[in-house]
Amino acid sequence: MNKVSAVSASNVCLQFGDVHAVKNVCFELEEGRFLTVLGPSGSGKTTLLRLIAGFQQPDQGEIFIKGQTVRELAPNKRSIGMVFQRLALFPHMTAAENVAFPLKMRRFNARTISDRVKEYLHLVRLEGLGSRKINELSGGQQQRVAIARALVFEPDLLLLDEPLAALDRKLREEMQLEFRRIQKELGVTTINVTHDQREALVVSDQIIVMNYGEIQQNATPLEVYRSPSNPFVANFVGVTNLFHGMLESLKGQQVAIRISQQTLLGTSKSENSVLTQGVSVQAAIRAEQIRLFRGKSENRECEAYFEGRVTDVIFEGERILYELSVAALSDAPIRIIHHDQQDFSTFEVGEMVFVGWQSRDMHVFVVD
């Protein structure tokens, strides 16, 4: 027997005037999985969430929840809990009253509501704070109230509309781990919308990357990060260097490309039918996959290496981001996340160094 997806979309489209907000979106999400829809502002991710919630209707295509189309189902008839960016908590109510509200609206047995509210306040680690008004709680505590309210009636689906965007970085990172813990503990199918790539990688079982209303890649976090499907995904997720060049030769998935006056090796997942000699390509390599050396003799593993001049040094606490200018690659700026913490103070602006990488780490894409 085929397993029914918790949520799926089939050729979903929505257009505002001449703008395709969502274009030919198709995906399936298994029950109990955590999906993040990731993309820049205007990519269509929030519109897709609103379509799933029922706040908007698609021009074409269908959305299914547990195998049933929801086109004719009003938002309040869908078994969906939501946490919004602005939380939409009731300021005149206590934390417990906010959590109880959806139970009262759904006419739960009044004698069971108090115990259920306590259970979900415990789940989000707010024991003993149920009597506090919303303005007496910190930002993180308010987030937890919103989560408890969205989950207390045990919905089939939890939707998160950038609920962490307004938090400071440290609190946002703490809440990302909380979302992951709660989702794993309850096993509730979850769809999260964010522009924060770290958040997507940390919390998700599955990531959909969107741009201009279209899905660019639908894969696991590891696949999205290590095997991006196109230059947009490669550049949007992580710190990535992009080079423009021309294809010289092809052998299996290994390609030789010409960048400036240099021939470099890389790997390609494009169809061989589009990989013809002379075609324009973009090569992508992540900043942490490039190595820094003071001299050629220090190179132990890199198949490609060049001399470059350090143009900027950015200290980020747990790492240092270097920017270099490489004459052999037409002075293309190269960003590098340096690995060796013992050498954090070694390289200075203006210093000549060597950079290198392995050919397997350079992904090559045909330019449309």
* For residue 273, pLDDT beyond 90: no
Q: Residue 116 in 3-state DSSP?
A: helix
For the segment 133-146, the average pLDDT, to the nearest whole number, is 92
Identify whether the C-beta of residue 201 lies closer than 8 Å to the C-beta of residue 225: yes
Q: How do the domains of the chain map onto residue ranges?
A: 7-231, 239-366
Which residues, including other chains, have CB under 8 Å from residue 36's CB and lie 6 or more apart? 191, 192, 193, 194, 199, 200, 203, 204, 206, 207, 208
The CATH code of the domain at 7-231 is 3.40.50.300
Supply the pLDDT for residue 318.
Answer: 78
- Please name the CATH architecture into which domain 239-366 falls: Beta Barrel (2.40)
Q: How far apart are CA 120 and CA 127, in angstroms?
A: 9
Q: Residues 119, 125, 126, CA angle at the centre, nearest 5°?
A: 80
For the segment 159-181, the average pLDDT, to the nearest whole number, is 89
Q: How does pLDDT run across 234-243, given as a tens digit for each residue?
A: 999 999 999 9
The answer to whether the 7-231 and 239-366 domains have the same CATH topology is no
User: What is the DSSP secondary-structure string of 152-167?
Assistant: TT--SEEEEESTTTTS
* For residue 77, pLDDT beyond 90: no
Supply the pLDDT for residue 345.
Answer: 57
| pTM confidence score | 0.90
Phi, psi angle pair for 253, to nearest 5°: -95, -5
Q: How does pLDDT run across 305-351, given as a tens digit for each residue?
A: 899 999 999 988 778 899 999 999 888 889 999 866 565 557 899 99
Supply the pLDDT for residue 165.
Answer: 84
- The enclosing H or E element of 226 equals helix 221-226
Using 50, 70 and 90 to split pLDDT, how confident is the model at 47?
A: very high
Q: How does pLDDT run across 204-219, given as a tens digit for each residue?
A: 999 999 999 999 999 9
Q: What is the 8-class DSSP label of residue 222? A: H
